[in-house]
């Protein structure tokens, strides 16, 4: 289950709550992956420079929401106001490989990053998946520029790298503030159609729908029905369309589309495609806007998808687990084994993480797999961690094997308990007792009163 968000946030800060946006209150099964594409994230130079050194406020916000629920930030890519984040459940980490990011500027003839696309691609259970968040040129008259820019982004992503082109991925998701407008009809007809919920009257004049009928490369992209109000342009903190002097015409600028490669091949070969080859399918379960969010003049749009995969990978590259009982009272051991074809490196490491860890660098401590190895045979290896590095307070943790060659987590253990350090606990208890025997004067006088 994949939940995809696109939202032009208009340089605003994150809202207080995103429960409904992420469908965290849904009664159905939880999502396996969240893909969050934002446009117009605050990109003033001071903000951008600080965001290069540290996570930006939106990334921190979504990590704070999702990490306690068992998701980690798999990857992110930022190009000025464009931000793309992917979060996944822990259980899928060993089966996600070859994660790469890329960006393409199209603003100001390709020199400025206020428009363009950011992309994250990966292998998911052996299938190639690509996510592309775009912000295309604005204004009614720029349809051709939007199409030209999108073609340029498609062509330039991962150009020259040993990675399939975007259109060669098994599944490609294309989303963002695509800025397509409703042509021909006047503002009064458009608003009246919206007020009467007769959205179908506007579909045939939607510039993206019109372009899909003419442009061959767009015909391969699918989209759910636009059965929600156009998501642009609203007065802030309201569900009222633009009341400024400009009175911009409403439009479905914020969109989510997808393309499945084998369906395109199937259409090209006219029936020569066997059922057995259909190893991946995509089903759209929900395509909606979220009117309650008013921090910008756009409403966010979400698509909830089912990805049915025939796993081409059945076992993790690395299996690892803690040896015996863990506490900070003694050095501890980690057992791990790797499949024969695993491309190990001297720079690989095993990290100890809290179960609510946010991303791969959010470790408590780590051990180098070569430098800290203490035994090895053809079936498994052992690595040690020093007692001094183990948290005295204990708690619930996981171990993750990080592959330097793959630049990703290649294995994750089941959650396990680290016992509190009894020496530490005893010292802590004595300090607490001492604090009670030495009461502040004002506390004693209050009790006497």
Whole-angstrom CA distances from 403 to 125, 292, 353, 413 are 17, 42, 16, 15
DSSP string computed for 145-212: HHHHHHHHHHHHTTTTSSS--GGGSSEEEEEEE----B-SS-HHHHHHHHHTT-THHHHTTBHHHHHH
**pLDDT-derived band of residue 446, with 50, 70 and 90 as boundaries?**
very low
The pLDDT assigned to 268 comes to 52
Tokens of 325: 């009982």
The arrangement of secondary structure in 2-309, i.e. its CATH architecture, is 4-Layer Sandwich (3.60)
**Model confidence pLDDT, tens digit, residues 64-123:** 999 999 999 999 999 989 999 999 999 999 999 999 999 998 866 545 557 999 999 999
**Model confidence pLDDT, tens digit, residues 114-131:** 799 999 999 999 999 999
**pLDDT-derived band of residue 186, with 50, 70 and 90 as boundaries?**
very high
Q: Which fold has domain 318-432?
A: Immunoglobulin-like (2.60.40)
Record the pTM: 0.89
Which residues are CB-neighbours of 383 under 8 A, at least 6 positions away?
Answer: 333, 334, 336, 350, 367, 368, 369, 372, 373, 374
β-partners of residue 206 are: 182
Domain ranges of the chain: 2-309, 318-432
Closest CA to 42 of 131, 93, 114, 91: 114
Q: Which H helix or E strand runs over 427?
A: helix 422-437
The pLDDT assigned to 46 comes to 52
């Amino acid at each position: 289950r994949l939940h995809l968000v696109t939202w032009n946030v208009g340089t605003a800060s994150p809202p207080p709550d995103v429960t409904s946006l992420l469908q965290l209150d849904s009664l159905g099964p939880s999502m396996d992956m969240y893909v969050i594409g934002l446009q117009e994230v605050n990109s003033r130079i001071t903000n951008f420079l600080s965001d290069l050194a540290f996570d930006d406020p939106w990334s921190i916000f979504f990590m704070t929401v999702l990490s306690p629920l068992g998701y980690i930030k798999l990857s992110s890519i930022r190009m000025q106001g464009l931000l793309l984040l992917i979060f996944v459940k822990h259980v899928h980490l060993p089966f996600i490989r070859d994660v790469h990011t890329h960006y393409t500027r199209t603003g100001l003839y390709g020199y400025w990053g206020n428009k363009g696309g950011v992309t994250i691609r990966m292998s998911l259970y052996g299938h190639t998946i690509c996510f592309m968040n775009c912000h295309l040129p604005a204004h009614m008259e720029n349809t051709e520029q939007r199409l030209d820019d999108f073609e340029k982004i498609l062509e330039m992503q991962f150009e020259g790298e040993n990675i399939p082109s975007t259109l060669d991925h098994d599944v490609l998701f294309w989303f963002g503030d695509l800025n397509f407008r409703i042509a021909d009809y006047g503002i009064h007809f458009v608003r009246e159609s919206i007020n009467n919920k007769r959205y179908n009257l506007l579909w045939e004049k939607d510039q993206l729908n019109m372009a899909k009928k003419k442009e061959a490369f767009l015909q391969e992209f699918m989209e759910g029905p636009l059965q929600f109000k156009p998501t642009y342009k609203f007065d802030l903190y309201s569900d009222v369309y633009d009341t400024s002097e400009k009175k911009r015409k409403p439009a479905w600028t914020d969109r989510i589309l997808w393309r499945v490669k084998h369906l395109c091949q199937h259409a090209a070969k006219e029936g020569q495609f066997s059922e057995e080859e259909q190893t991946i399918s995509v089903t759209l379960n929900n395509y909606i806007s979220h009117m309650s969010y008013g921090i910008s003049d756009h409403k966010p749009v979400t698509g909830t998808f089912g990805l049915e995969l025939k796993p081409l990978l059945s076992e993790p590259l690395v299996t690892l687990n803690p040896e015996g009982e863990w506490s900070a009272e003694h050095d501890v051991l980690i057992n791990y084994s790797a499949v024969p074809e695993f491309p190990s490196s001297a720079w690989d490491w095993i990290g100890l993480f809290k179960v609510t860890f946010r991303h791969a660098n959010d470790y408590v401590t780590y051990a180098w797999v070569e430098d800290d190895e203490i035994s090895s045979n053809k079936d498994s290896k052992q690595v040690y961690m020093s007692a001094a590095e183990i948290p005295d307070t204990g708690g619930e943790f996981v171990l993750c094997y990080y592959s330097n060659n793959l630049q990703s987590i290649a294995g994750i253990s089941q959650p396990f308990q680290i016992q509190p350090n009894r020496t530490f606990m005893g010292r802590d208890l004595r300090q607490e007792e001492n604090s009670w025997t030495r009461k502040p004067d004002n506390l004693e006088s209050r009790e006497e009163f």
